[in-house]
Amino acid sequence: MTLQKRDYDAVVVGSGPNGLAAAILMQQQGLSVLIIEGKDNIGGGLRSAELTLPGFTHDVCSAIHPLALASPFFKTLPLADFGLEYLQPTLNAAHPFDDGTAAILDKSIKNTADYLGTDAGAYNALMRELTGAWPLIDQDALGPFRFPRHPLVMAQFGLKALSSAETFVKRFKTKEARGLFGGMAAHAIQPLSNLGTTAIGLVLMATGHLKGWPVPKGGSVSIANALAGYFKSIGGTIETGIYIKSLDQLPSAQAVLFDVTPKQLLQLAGHKFSSIYKWQLERYRYGMGVFKIDWALDGPIPFTAPECRRAGTVHLGNTFEEIAAGEQQTSRGHQAEKPFVLLAQQSLFDSSRAPEGKHTARAYCHVPNGSMQDMTAAIEAQVERFAPGFKDLILAKNTMNTAQIETYNPNYIGGDINGGIIDLGQLFTRPALRWSPYKTSAKGLYICSSSTPPGGGVHGMCGYNAGKKALSDVFGIDLK
């Protein structure tokens, strides 16, 4: 397919949540905006498909969406008018242990704390503080480095968030509190000894208490479809099935925003960049990859701990120490024998995902970037460890190694679903050390992917912030 040659004010390459957010923001200001998507369907990480058997709908990448519901930008959009319905699991998450018990993340702080024994008071105080602070700092925490609107509140959060998870967890004594926090912090996809790994754990817990960890009815693609529907309703244009390999393919526009990572950006526009900017992009670092399995099941997963049967997400890693050891080993290029597994069971709360009486589930573990090792047996052993009889329920499965994940979405370099490691070395230089991380060294060219602040997750804030920068630079539109 070829593009119709007409002029636009702005063109966005890529239709992931960040590309859609950037396009929507600029179209809202009365500009003419075109989104170009290489695949036949929009969405990036927001796609759903029958990966196993007819009638079983699986999320190809992202599945549970606490940051989508809590996004400062997405919550301003009338997405329900375009078919988006969020379903709330009975429990946000559960974390089982080998003794048959489990810790939980409930929307209620008190209910969560009740599972943490002698750590209940410490958890209650921490989360009361964080849930009070988050609405004041969400835009600053989910944006580029800048002077915050509430500096004292942000500083108090930052002092906690920038610590390593291994240091932060020392405030807890029980295996329940330590394990629960370890599972949350492991979403950082890096060793828990790294500075800054506390941040993701705190954000996921706080948003879970404030907004829940919702499941979009019908699959994650429902979020992409709603964003696209709204974008088109205000005059935006989307072209699919056009893979951009050269800037020459693009129609004339005053601003072009790329929902791609540094590797693809260099391939597309490296010849346009200054030597120092190009040098920085060439040294951008990608993190661990993932190996993923989707299952069609003959029934719900028979977890030993009853709490796990009521949770949308289940973290399988037992103790904090086991999770930390596995993540450290994997980050060094050696696959853990018992990997930390992140499992979602959406069909428990969304009956549209599977035929009556049947279920879907998906799980992934972290692997060395680019690893081709088949982790099917290791992941299924971890599920069976906490849910004896699970394997007997498997009707069909679909697996994706790091190469297949990158083929599905070229932004997932070596299976890295975060668009690059978000360690302290790249927290403030993502993707390069510049006054604005979204502005490239070439006039009119911007990057709006998860390789910019605040990083991975379905929140659209990378695109929103890049769109704001382009609006100011190119069109003289300054938004608060």
Per-residue pLDDT reduced to its tens digit, 47-86: 999 999 999 999 999 999 999 988 999 999 999 999 999 9
Residue 134, pLDDT > 80, answer yes
Average pLDDT, the chain: 95
How confident is residue 145, by pLDDT bands cut at 50, 70 and 90?
A: confident
Note whether 286 and 413 are within 8 A (CB): yes
- pLDDT value of position 139: 87
**What is the rounded CA–CA span in Å between residue 400 and residue 345?**
18
- At 3 the pLDDT is 66
Q: Residue 2's pLDDT is what?
A: 60
pTM for the predicted model, two decimal places:
0.95
Q: Is cis: bond before 300, omega within 30 of 0?
A: no
Quick one: pLDDT at residue 427?
80
Task: Classify 86-215+288-408 by CATH class.
Answer: alpha beta
Tokens of 207: 């948003």
What angle do helix axes 120-141 and 151-161 make, rounded to 10 degrees? 120
Q: What contacts 62, CB < 8 A, 6 or more positions away?
A: 45, 46, 220, 458
pLDDT band at 429 (very low <50, low <70, confident <90, very high): confident
257-293: pLDDT as tens digits: 999 999 999 999 999 999 999 999 999 999 999 999 9
Q: How confident is the model at residue 147 (pLDDT cuts 50, 70, 90)?
A: confident
The 10s digit of each residue's pLDDT in 15-24 is 999 999 999 9
Whether the pLDDT of residue 394 is over 60: the answer is yes
Share of the chain above pLDDT 70, in %: 99
pLDDT tens across 67-78, in order?
998 899 999 999
Name the one residue in this structure whose structure tokens are 């957010």. Answer: 21
Give mean pLDDT, residues 207-230. 97
The three-state secondary structure class of 474 is helix
Q: How far apart are CA 103 and CA 75, in angstroms?
A: 30
